[in-house]
């Protein structure tokens, strides 16, 4: 299956568990069968847009929350922190060199 289907399934499962619901309860509220809900969470089946809408409404979440990819976001944050860190190191190095240059005078 595609990465997006895996992300969708994982997020649905996590949001369902956060709500304290069983697959049976979410399937009932979304108007689908329990086996189909299981297949969605395991990324073995791709739900239609109507089913995605029903699941989002049942969980009271936005569509974006269903497709949120925390791994990519964490990688972006880590990259930004590395850039910031390298900028700080460069700035501190320059300041140290300036101080040593002043001491030589």
For the chain, the first-to-last Cα distance in angstroms comes to 67
pLDDT at position 105 over 70? no
Class level of CATH domain 3-67: mainly alpha
pLDDT at position 77 over 60? no
pLDDT, tens only, 35-65? 999 999 999 999 999 999 999 999 999 988 9
Structure tokens at 24: 């049976």
CB 48 within 8 A of CB 56: no
Q: What angle do CA 93, 98, 100 make, to 5 degrees?
A: 95
20 vs 39: CA distance, rounded Å: 19
Looking up tokens 């925390």 gives 70
Looking up tokens 């972006």 gives 76
């Amino acid at each position: 299956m595609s990465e997006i289907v895996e992300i969708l399934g994982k997020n649905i499962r996590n949001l369902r568990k956060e709500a304290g619901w069983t697959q049976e309860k979410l399937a009932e509220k979304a108007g689908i069968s329990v086996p189909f809900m299981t297949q969605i969470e395991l990324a073995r089946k791709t739900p239609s847009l109507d089913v995605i809408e029903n699941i989002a409404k049942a969980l009271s979440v936005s569509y974006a929350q269903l497709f949120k990819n925390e791994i990519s976001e964490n990688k972006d944050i880590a990259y930004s922190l590395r850039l910031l860190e390298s900028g700080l190191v460069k700035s501190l190095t320059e300041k140290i060199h300036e101080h040593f240059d002043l001491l030589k005078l």
